[in-house]
Amino acid sequence: MADMVLYFAKAQGGNTVSIYDREMSTEMEHLRALEARLMEAVIHSDFTLH
């Protein structure tokens, strides 16, 4: 959880204080799922450059 709060604090531009809440966890889960789907698409060459 500490890593997650640090990530959000840095995303706010630094020099800020962040407190963990459950919404952060949900957002991180969505980002990890998106990253996993993108990596799978890259591995399977599902992207086409136009």
The total number of structural domains that make up the chain: 1
Task: Give the closest residue to 20 by CA, choosing from 31, 9, 35, 11.
Answer: 9
8 is a domain residue:
yes
DSSP one-letter code for 14? S
- Looking at residue 40, its pLDDT comes to 94
13 is a domain residue:
yes
CB under 8 Å to 28, separation ≥6 — which residues? 4, 7
Is-contact 49 29, C-beta < 8 A?
Answer: no
> How confident is the model over 1-50, as pLDDT tens digits?
677 777 777 888 877 777 777 887 888 889 889 999 999 999 999 988 77
16 is a domain residue:
yes
Task: Give the closest residue to 8 by CA, choosing from 30, 23, 34.
Answer: 23
Is-contact 4 28, C-beta < 8 A?
Answer: yes
Domain that holds residue 32: 2-43
pTM assigned to the model? 0.56
- Looking at residue 41, its pLDDT comes to 93
- Looking at residue 35, its pLDDT comes to 94
- Looking at residue 1, its pLDDT comes to 67
